[in-house]
């Protein structure tokens, strides 16, 4: 959980802003197109690992699922939203971004601006879901931390 929170904060609030403040938008976008699929992919894969660990522990102690009910629901939501970012929203954004720069290269500025507006919408959705995921991870970490070890 700590790794997921740290990685989320690091990529969202440090890596992406640094890239866009030190490189032109096209290069920064190309770099983030390399990094963010791994970031989103690692998120849902580690979510499944955490979910699996809880499932394994619950075979020995059935009370774990009852005591971690909200945590299990939250990690399930996190997994689904991370998968959506990785497998649906990110590819749409990458396609739109690629189309935008292709149209700019072809000197078709009006068409490029239309694509840019669509990209902004997808990026806003992606950013909102990513921020939601970070807040959810903080909630889950707090929930897990405050659940006494003796109770599990």
Residues sharing a CB contact under 8 Å with residue 39, sequence separation 6 or more, in sequence order: 7, 8, 11
pTM of the model: 0.90
Query: Where does the pLDDT of residue 150 fall: very low under 50, low under 70, confident under 90, or very high at 90 and above?
Result: low
Q: What is the mean pLDDT of residues 117-146?
A: 95
* Residue-wise burial string across 102-141, b where 16 or more C-beta atoms lie within 10 A, e elsewhere: ebbeeeeeeebeebbeebeebeeebeebbeebbebbeebe
Q: What is the mean pLDDT of residues 25-54?
A: 95
Query: Where does the pLDDT of residue 62 fall: very low under 50, low under 70, confident under 90, or very high at 90 and above?
Result: confident
Number of domains into which the chain is organized:
1
Concatenating the DSSP letter of every residue in 67-84 gives: HTHHHHHHHHHHHHHHHH
Its domain, for residue 133, covers 2-151
């Amino acid at each position: 959980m700590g790794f997921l929170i740290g990685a989320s904060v690091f990529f969202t609030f440090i890596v992406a802003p640094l890239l866009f403040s030190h490189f032109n938008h096209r290069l920064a976008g190309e770099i983030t197109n390399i990094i963010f699929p791994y970031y989103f992919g690692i998120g849902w894969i580690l979510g499944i690992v955490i979910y699996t660990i809880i499932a394994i522990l619950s075979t020995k102690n059935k009370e774990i699922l009852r005591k971690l009910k909200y945590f299990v629901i939250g990690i399930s939501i996190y997994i689904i939203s991370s998968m959506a970012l990785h497998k649906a929203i990110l590819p749409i954004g990458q396609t739109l971004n690629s189309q935008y720069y292709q149209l700019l290269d072809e000197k078709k500025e009006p068409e490029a601006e239309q694509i840019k507006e669509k990209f902004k919408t997808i990026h806003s959705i992606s950013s909102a879901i990513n921020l939601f995921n970070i807040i959810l991870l903080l909630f889950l970490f707090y929930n897990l931390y405050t659940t006494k070890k003796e109770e599990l």
